[in-house]
Amino acid sequence: MVRLQHVDSEVVAYRGFGRSFYVCNECIDNNKKIKGLTKRFKQDGEQFVKFLKELVKYG
């Protein structure tokens, strides 16, 4: 699972304070879930997926 937070219009890795949310590794590969997250947080879809996959890779 990847822990993230939304800060200043960006989704970033959790920084240790504030509200956060988790995305499981299976959901990262689920196009419907990613589309929902990109709409919710107003992110570019391709960049968001790339960011999530890098987080999982380097954990």
Reported as a single tens digit per residue, the pLDDT across 15-38 is 999 999 999 888 888 999 999 999
pLDDT value, residue 28 = 86
| Mean residue pLDDT across the chain | 90
Question: What ranges in the chain are assigned the alpha helix state H?
Answer: 25-28, 31-41, 45-58
pLDDT at residue 59, rounded to an integer: 66
Report domain extents, the chain.
2-58
